Amino acid sequence: MSPPKPLLLLLILTIATTLSSAHNITQILDSDPNLSQFNNYLTRTKLADEINSRQTITVLAIPNSAISPLSNLSLAAVKNTLSLHVVLDYYDAKKLHDIQDGTVITTTLYQTTGQAESSVGELNITDAKGGAVKFGSAKDGAKLDSTYVKQIKQIPFSLSVIEITAPILVPELLTATDDVNVTGVLTKAGCKTFAALLSKSGVLKRYEDQLKSGITVFAPNDEAFKAKGVPDLDKLSSADIVSLLQFHALSSYAPIGTLKTTKGSLQTLAPAGKFGLTASTAGDAVTLHTGVDSSRIATTLVDASPVVFYSVDSVLLPVALFGMSPTPAPAPAPESDAPSPSPEADTPSPSKAPAASPPAPPSDSSPAGEPSADSPEKAADEHSKKNDARGSAALLNGVVLSVAFGVVSLMF
């Protein structure tokens, strides 16, 4: 039985919203020079990426004339404070003034960091006398020192940007520091094996040198090194161990919001080339892909801009050390692009110069007209099928969006 039309429409609109980019907070704030410093802080702390990655959110913007209390704070403290100004719900001017002599306690982005104690990450929004709307920390006894000024931007039920008179300051958030003890963080989080490897190899110094300019660390927990399929690291050379450990860190600050919105390869501390690392997102979960294996980001151990440490479920294995080289090999091998596929392959590979010793033909045991399992023809056929699948997925996304907006147009 087909679903009711209202339910079907809701489903289509939900898919369409998910597939499209909702907003860009940096561009929105650029239109108001009075909010330039606030906008700059969102960029420097990478909070802009987190805001852009979310579908339902309200940003409480602070004007340049009132933002000076943040100027002497560490960047980590600035990020914590401004995280309290990002509400995980939609409040436009109308909704704020409809509170009607009441109070709403709502959750902010800081509450999602795992560092918030009690109600520190919650916000008090109160309709005061005379129609004024006040904002403050939800902590007991906290003052409501900030007031609604005006609506800056609204995308109904998705994004609302409003200006307030002053920053919301909470003492617990103002003392955050960007000083991080690398081995201390790792040891406390159950990543002792990883910490020991860093110290023994000398890569710890490389991590520490990167702290001031920005670093992102993906630390495998102790169980990850015991998992089935993890290569024997004792068989690697000292240089390979160094490259492997450098591969577990990015040369920049990338909190979760940044990982969600970054497309393409992530730049690690390892040499460029075969040390590619990419990230994919499913809901709030982020998975890292090396070309050899994948690993889910389990938890954020510390986020003190410009430093962030994550724990990951698996040791990240780079192609350069554990995968097949894309360079054509003298003998045929699975996933190699060296031999040209036969006419049976659906999509031929780009032509290459003939190899000195051509690969042996399929054995007589293979059925006539069908490539053997290890043959380059079979590999090319599988590659073609994957490309066809990707093309079909992209086409489906386009069709869904077209149908969704077509239905909405007919309704209105």
3-state secondary structure 319-360: HHHHCCCCCCCCCCCCCCCCCCCCCCCCCCCCCCCCCCCCCC
Q: Are 238 and 201 in contact (CB under 8 A)?
A: yes
pLDDT tens-digit map of 186-213: 999 999 999 999 999 999 999 999 999 9
Q: How many CB atoms lie under 10 A from the CB of residue 313?
A: 16
Burial of 126 by CB count in 10 Å (0-12 exposed, 13-18 middle, 19+ buried)? middle
pTM: 0.69
Average pLDDT value for residue range 80-94: 96
pLDDT at site 344: 39
Q: Are 301 and 185 in contact (CB under 8 A)?
A: yes
Nearest to 279 by CA among 325, 335, 224, 216: 216
Q: Is the confidence at residue 352, as pLDDT, over 80?
A: no
The domain over range 182-322 is classified in CATH as 3.30.1330.20: no
pLDDT tens-digit map of 272-304: 877 889 999 998 899 999 999 999 999 999 999
Q: What tokens were used for 207? A: 């991590």
Confidence band, pLDDT 50/70/90 cuts, at residue 269: very high
Give the lowest-confidence range in 28-32, 124-128, 208-212, 393-397: 393-397
Dist CA 113 CA 121 (whole Å): 9
pLDDT tens-digit map of 368-384: 344 444 443 443 344 34
pLDDT tens-digit map of 154-173: 999 999 999 999 999 999 99
Architecture, CATH, for domain 20-174? Roll (2.30)
Measured over the CA atoms of residue 383, residue 389, residue 393 and residue 394, the dihedral's sign is positive
Place of tokens 């403050």: 136
Dist CA 173 CA 78 (whole Å): 8
Q: Cβ contacts of residue 232 below 8 Å, gap of 6+? A: none
Planar angle of CA 313, 264, 21, nearest 5 degrees: 100
pLDDT at site 284: 84
Mean pLDDT in the chain?
Answer: 80
Average pLDDT value for residue range 23-35: 96
pLDDT at site 5: 52
Ranges of H-type helices in 218-264: 222-226, 238-246, 256-261
